[in-house]
Amino acid sequence: MALPATAWGFADNDDDTGSRRERPGLFLPNRKLRHLQGVSVRNLVVSPPSRPRGKTIDDDNIPNSLHTPLKALAEDAAKPLHQSRSFTDLKSTPASSSAEDRPRREQPPPLRQWQRRNTLPWNGPNPRARQVKLEEITSSRMADTWFSIHCDGVDEPVYVSEVVEHATNPSFRSFDLNICGPAIARRDQVTVKVWARTAAMEEYLLLVELQLCLQSLQFLGKSLDNFHQPLPPNSILFHFADGVYTNLTDLPPVVASIPPRHPRSADGATLPTSSYDALMRLANLDECIQDALTTRDKLEAQISSILEKNQRALTTTSNASRARDKLALAKHAVAAERKQLRTLTKRKEELISSLAARREAMERGRQTQARARSHLPDAQEKLGSSVKLLEQNTDEGRGQIRRMSEDLLAIYPIEPIPDKPLAFTIAGMALPNSNFTDVDRDGVAAALGYTAHLVYLLSFYLSIPLPYPVSPYLSHSLIQDPVSASLPQRTYPLYPVNVQYRFEYGVFLLNKDIEFLLNKQGLRVLDIRHTLPNLKYLLYVLTAGTTDIPARKAGGIRGLLPGRLTPSLSRRGSEASSTNGEAVLPRKVVGSVISANGEGIAPDKGKRAMASTSLAGAAPSVA
């Protein structure tokens, strides 16, 4: 069977470049086994179809025939259009015509009943069942595949591929058969065996054994991206350097002779191909080339004869050169070994000196250890007494903190307001919980001043620096924010001002200081906005204890001026002062001392003046 010229890749009309098909790069005689780069299989079918054929196979219905788009359109146009029937008509035979219109015919044999496919597994509401069904169908068509290439006269296979698992269109790795030698690489006859195994099989099955000539392959294109024609089952594709080929007929094509084409001008006249002078120049060039080749052969013969005559001298020269190279290499190795020997000797001396220094250090350490061991019993005794002293000081410190907290709670009593939950007063001044709408501005300022002074004193007694320092000036107290970045101002008032947000931010910083003190004591704050409840909770924890409150130790100003101070009129009747033997400073001395420490308190009007007077009288007792 002769293939058309399109099998070679030539177009029917050479002048129309738009409809020109792809051409193979290798001619038929040049298509050898060394040009083969890969093999792939398409439409893998391991088990043949079990349904018998319902018609004979002619030339148009050959499974390996190539269905072109024009042929497919022609077949679709030739098919008649059938009307669909319902499922009730499928089960019954068509009704016969009435006996009055036409004569009664013989009853035909009963036809088999038409049945529709059962689609219940696909219409179920469970998507998992459909997924399992699809996976079963897919896995039944997949197989593990590999192939081998054989040549006549060679017992072992020329090439054995890897195994491609679970695939219906396996594509194998590329290979190069030039390593097999020219005896194999220059052949054009080859046998390809494809082996496959499904999940239900235990051993591999020889699926396809194809003996073909590489010249009988049909060109499909540079790649399979532009090839849209259907391929028969178990099609083997051969990948060459110029494109993809396959075997559809296994018959070598008859190469049609291409008529010679003469160059023609635009008006159709034949143009000459070359002139006489050009032919003569070509002949002279050919003679020059032949003379050069003859001269080259003569020079090669002369050089070979000279080398044969002086073979002994050349051998001696070569041996001498090799000996000189070996001598230079030996000298270089000796120099490297000497250098390494000097380095190792220096390293050895350094290690010896280091070991001697370490021995001396170890001896000094032993002596120091012996002296320390001799002092160890005395140190253990001192350690025990120091631990007891530390525990005693810790207990006394806690007791002093408890006593000072009791004094602060007596100076600034925090009492709840009846019938108002979480509402407290400090020294008789009510302080809302961060809600300052429709309040007494002077009362709020005085309450915040008492609170700021109480927090300021607690930070000193507990030895806890505040993150936001407080300047307690009673009703004009201030607080600073050195932590936040990019703030225009660092100082905020603790008394109501015209700019409301500055006052509220100052109260927020004061609440953060109270929260910091609570956290240092291991306590948790439920609501940071509750200023006095949180402060009351802190003082309650600090004053908690089962032992008696220790007496106040003499120190500070009372320690410097013992017996020179007389109790003031306001503290003269205090039972606690007379019991503990306290010396109360007069108001003038307290004022001078506070001024000397840089903490002067400016008096205020009305109630704030009275509060400052009582605070000045009570401050020495707290200290």
Position 76 scores a pLDDT of: 65
When pLDDT is averaged across residues 409-431 and rounded to a whole number, the result is 91
**CB neighbour list of residue 65: distance below 8 Å, 6 or more residues apart:** 59, 248
129-133, 276-280, 546-550: lowest mean pLDDT where?
Answer: 546-550
Position 7 scores a pLDDT of: 40
Give the DSSP H or E segment for 137. helix 127-141
The domain total for the chain is: 3
Residue 565 has pLDDT above 90, yes or no: no
521, 552, 583 - which closes a domain = 552
Question: What are residue 206's DSSP bridge partners?
Answer: 195
Q: At what angle do helices 311-374 and 276-309 cross, to 10 degrees?
A: 70
Residue 445 falls inside a structural domain: yes
Position 29 scores a pLDDT of: 80
Enumerate the H helices of 244-375 as residue ranges: 276-309, 311-374
Tell me, yes or no, whether 41 and 165 share the same domain. yes
Tell me, yes or no, whether 249 and 204 share the same domain. yes
Q: 233 in helix, strand or coil?
A: coil
pLDDT by residue (tens digit) across 6-26? 444 433 444 444 445 678 888
Query: How far is 1 from 259, CA to CA, in rounded Å?
Result: 21
Position 553 scores a pLDDT of: 63
Tell me, yes or no, whether 41 and 169 share the same domain. yes
DSSP class of 557:
H
Residue 107 falls inside a structural domain: no
What's the N-to-C CA distance of the chain in angstroms?
123
Position 131 scores a pLDDT of: 81
Tell me, yes or no, whether 474 and 336 share the same domain. no
Position 456 scores a pLDDT of: 95
Residue 427 falls inside a structural domain: yes
Tell me, yes or no, whether 535 and 418 share the same domain. yes
Residue 91 has pLDDT above 50, yes or no: no
493, 521, 552 - which closes a domain = 552
Tell me, yes or no, whether 173 and 322 share the same domain. no
Residue 456 falls inside a structural domain: yes
Using an 8 Å Cβ cutoff, are 230 and 245 in contact? Answer: no
Q: How many residues does the chain have?
A: 623
Tell me, yes or no, whether 186 and 232 share the same domain. yes
Position 617 scores a pLDDT of: 37
Query: How far is 213 from 28, CA to CA, in rounded Å?
Result: 10
Question: Which has the closest alpha carbon to 168: 191, 139, 190, 147?
Answer: 139
Give me the domain span that covers residue 365. Answer: 310-379
Residue 110 falls inside a structural domain: no
Tell me, yes or no, whether 454 and 314 share the same domain. no
Query: How far is 227 from 235, CA to CA, in rounded Å?
Result: 14
Tell me, yes or no, whether 161 and 232 share the same domain. yes
Residue 205 falls inside a structural domain: yes
Tell me, yes or no, whether 350 and 452 share the same domain. no
CATH of the domain at 244: 2.60.40
Enumerate the H helices of 375-440 as residue ranges: 376-411
Q: 390 in helix, strand or coil?
A: helix
Residue 102 falls inside a structural domain: no
Highest mean pLDDT of the ranges 106-110, 345-349, 595-599: 345-349
Please give the model's pTM, rounded to 2 decimal places: 0.35
When pLDDT is averaged across residues 433-460 and rounded to a whole number, the result is 91
When pLDDT is averaged across residues 299-321 and rounded to a whole number, the result is 92
Residue 45 has pLDDT above 80, yes or no: yes
Residue 58 has pLDDT above 90, yes or no: no
Tell me, yes or no, whether 245 and 350 share the same domain. no
Residue 599 has pLDDT above 80, yes or no: no
Residue 94 has pLDDT above 50, yes or no: no
CATH of the domain at 459: 1.10.418.40
When pLDDT is averaged across residues 531-549 and rounded to a whole number, the result is 86
pLDDT by residue (tens digit) across 346-402? 999 999 999 999 999 999 999 999 998 898 888 888 898 999 999 888 888 888 888
521, 536, 552 - which closes a domain = 552
Position 98 scores a pLDDT of: 44
Residue 505 has pLDDT above 90, yes or no: yes
Report percent pLDDT > 70 for the chain.
68
pLDDT by residue (tens digit) across 189-240? 999 999 999 888 889 999 999 999 998 898 998 888 888 888 899 999 999 9
Tell me, yes or no, whether 426 and 546 share the same domain. yes
